[in-house]
A and B are shown apart, each in its own frame.
Chain A
Amino acid sequence: MPGETLGLVGESGCGKSVTALSILGLVQRPGRIVGGKILFKGEDLVRMPVDELRDIRGRDIAMIFQDPLSSLNPVLKVGFQIDEAMQAHDKIPKDQIERRGVDLLKEVRVPDAARRANDYPHQFSGGMRQRAMIAMGLSNRPEILIADEPTTALDVTVQAQILELLRDLNEATGTSIMLITHNLGVVAGLCKRVIVMYAGEIVEQGPVEQIFESPQHPYTWSLLRSIPRIDADRRERLRSIEGLPPDLIQLPPGCKFSPRCPYRIERCFRDDPQLKEVAPSQEAACWVTMKRAYAEMGAATITDTRPGAASGVRPPKGVAAKVVDARTIDAAEGPVR
């Protein structure tokens, strides 16, 4: 949707970044897109010829990355790298490019922009570099800005500034922002809608307030529970989700989250759940959903969140041994009380 702010969350290795890179066809070899569709204004970007896709890159859909230092070319001036993004497309008149380059740096609040445009990336601080990346991304007034963990490499105070900048730019320019992060706090602060990914698939999506208020997928619920609370009891341990995301080459059958899910039922090991509406404009892919987990398994008071702990269901014989990644066997086979 134009002007929207969308958050894409999930643990490391859930396929968030690859999803984003696929949109612009930037997946590194030997990786490639084997199927599916990415629709942009009714056109499928996956099947689009490289020449046409190149016109979309940076002009209609721009992207900024996690580490602004390694994402900027160390031997080229920052101003030049921004101007270059405009020269690649004919959207900005040639005689305005240089002035707009400096204006963009001002817009992203780089002090003394005219002089700084002649500096090299190593002369910028981390936050300034990310601002320069954002300026580059916005230079052609794109419709969508994909921000792949834009604040992960920055310290906390700078993180807040960058997020504030992104929010202001979204409001001022109407550019849609797709924010990829594993930090739910960042999503809450910036996004209106959120998509939760697990093992390369969407498991839940919906408006941010609604998802935070009543998550329906146990994975979303576990993620939210893992956020440390400032008002929590000091003796309480930090909560985490037992185990690791599965190896994407050897996915478990049925629900991908079942080896780690406290609320799993037998069916979860057999059938892969599809997204379905669980509340107005909220969808989740789960056989149980938290509604049932609260009603039948006492999710409100649960303290033991080990796999299968709440439902008492263990993986059927053979399934665990065959497919569960070695890293998750401990969690999947742990004692169930």
Chain B
Amino acid sequence: MRGTLIYIGQRLVLIVFTVLVVSFGVFFIVHLLPGNAFVSDRVHGQALQILLHEYGLDQPIPVQYWNWLTGIVLHGSLGVSLYIRGLPITPLVLRELSVSAMLGGAALIITIGLGVTFGVLAAVRQNSWVDYLLTTIAVIGYSVPSFVIASLGILIFGQWLNNLTNGVIYYPEPWTGTYGTLAELSVPAIALGFYTSGQITRITRAAMLDVIQQDYIRTARAKGLVDRVVVLRHALRNALVPVTSILGPTVISIIVGSVVIENIFGIPGLGKEFVESIFQHDYNVTVGVFTIYAVLIGVANLGVDLIYTVIDPRIRY
């Protein structure tokens, strides 16, 4: 137990270090973009210099970064928006984070639930039509890009079936309401989670087929346990170890995919904000969102490593 806590501490230090490097890199790159934050205001000369000075943009980039960093550490503030001048962006980004987290969480549940269920069913019914059907769905899952599925989802549920669903699943631009309803959430969540669910199906199926050959499965059968208990309690638990190993990449894939999906559905989340802020030269928002992504990915990977210890008692840190 103590070893685990020390391990978590070490990993957290590593995450902080990674986030520092990533945020500086992004900070540096976005400030190198051609143009400046006030390019759309058509201000020039003296007036521009005054504006730049007001937001500290006339200072060298390392100094600007230092100011940005101290702002986070001392005040918990990601700075102010340069597009809507002077608006503190921390509350804005946090609200968008909660929207994205809901979408991403739903996508994660769908991808794991669907992937593991399909994988187990395909393995248990190996080489039957069930197996072929489910593996075909999995192949389609990771061959079709998420934006295609997203567009189809809008077309089918938002347009063609709009009368049937009574407008429950409908995507006006911009999205009304903060989160949308659960029904509205389901379509983008499936579009987002479908790709990775295909991969999880494949890995679960392969792991199950491997585990079912093991001696301890024979022991479980020799005890007289029913097939359901043998598969779920004895086989699946062991098969989840390799499945867990791709949860890290899965989370990353969902975060990356959310940037595309949120823009297609017009969901007011981090991904949409991220893209807009780049076009608007809203430096602080871009860097802030990117830094949050870095933290999320670091924590997700730590979480995955801790899940290992829950699934497999032989793994200890």
Interface of A toward B, CB cutoff 8 Å: 21, 24, 26, 28, 54-59, 62-63, 65, 67, 70-76, 84-85, 88-89, 120, 122, 133, 136
Per-residue CB contact flags for chain B residues 215-240 toward chain A (1 = under 8 Å, else 0) read 11011111111100100011001100
CB pair A74–B238 under 8 Å, yes or no, is: yes
* Residues of the B chain whose Cβ atoms lie less than 8 Å from the Cβ of A84: 223, 225
A59-B224, A88-B224 given. 18 additional CB < 8 A pairs? Answer: A26-B218, A26-B222, A57-B224, A62-B222, A67-B215, A72-B216, A72-B219, A73-B216, A73-B238, A74-B313, A75-B238, A84-B223, A85-B224, A88-B229, A120-B314, A122-B314, A133-B219, A136-B219
Known contacts A71-B216, A73-B234; decide if A88 and B225 are in contact (CB<8 Å): yes
CB pair A70–B216 under 8 Å, yes or no, is: yes
CA distance A76 to B311 in the complex (A): 10
Known contacts A54-B226, A55-B224; decide if A75 and B237 are in contact (CB<8 Å): yes
CB pair B234–A85 under 8 Å, yes or no, is: no
Give residues of chain B (195-251) contacting chain A, Cβ–Cβ below 8 Å. Answer: 213-216, 218-226, 229, 233-234, 237-238
Q: Pull 12 A–B residue pairs with CB atoms less than 8 Å apart, ordered by A.
A: A28-B218, A58-B222, A58-B223, A59-B224, A62-B222, A71-B215, A71-B218, A74-B216, A74-B314, A75-B237, A75-B312, A76-B233
Interface residues on B, range: 20 to 34
Closest 4 pairs between A and B when the two form their complex, measured CB to CB = A58-B224, A57-B224, A70-B215, A58-B223
Per-residue CB contact flags for chain B residues 168-185 toward chain A (1 = under 8 Å, else 0) read 000000000000000000
CA distance A3 to B220 in the complex (A): 25
* Residues of the B chain whose Cβ atoms lie less than 8 Å from the Cβ of A72: 216, 219
Give the nearest-CB partner of B214 in chain A: A70
CB pair A28–B220 under 8 Å, yes or no, is: no
* Residues of the B chain whose Cβ atoms lie less than 8 Å from the Cβ of A58: 222-225
* Residues of the A chain whose Cβ atoms lie less than 8 Å from the Cβ of B220: 73
Partner of B224, one of A65, A75, A89, A122: A89
CA distance A59 to B224 in the complex (A): 7
CB pair A28–B216 under 8 Å, yes or no, is: no
CA distance A59 to B252 in the complex (A): 49
CA distance A54 to B234 in the complex (A): 17
Known contacts A57-B221, A89-B224; decide if A120 and B313 are in contact (CB<8 Å): yes
* Residues of the B chain whose Cβ atoms lie less than 8 Å from the Cβ of A65: 215, 218-219
* Residues of the B chain whose Cβ atoms lie less than 8 Å from the Cβ of A70: 214-216
CB pair B222–A57 under 8 Å, yes or no, is: yes
CA distance A24 to B233 in the complex (A): 21
* Residues of the A chain whose Cβ atoms lie less than 8 Å from the Cβ of B229: 88
* Residues of the B chain whose Cβ atoms lie less than 8 Å from the Cβ of A71: 215-216, 218-219
* Residues of the A chain whose Cβ atoms lie less than 8 Å from the Cβ of B214: 70
| Chain A min CB distance to B187 (Å) | 37
CA distance A71 to B216 in the complex (A): 4
CA distance A133 to B219 in the complex (A): 9
CA distance A25 to B311 in the complex (A): 31
Give the nearest-CB partner of B219 in chain A: A71
| Chain B min CB distance to A52 (Å) | 11
* Residues of the B chain whose Cβ atoms lie less than 8 Å from the Cβ of A74: 216, 238, 312-314
Give the nearest-CB partner of A119 in chain B: B313
Give residues of chain B (288-306) contacting chain A, Cβ–Cβ below 8 Å. Answer: none
Give the nearest-CB partner of B218 in chain A: A26
| Chain A min CB distance to B232 (Å) | 12
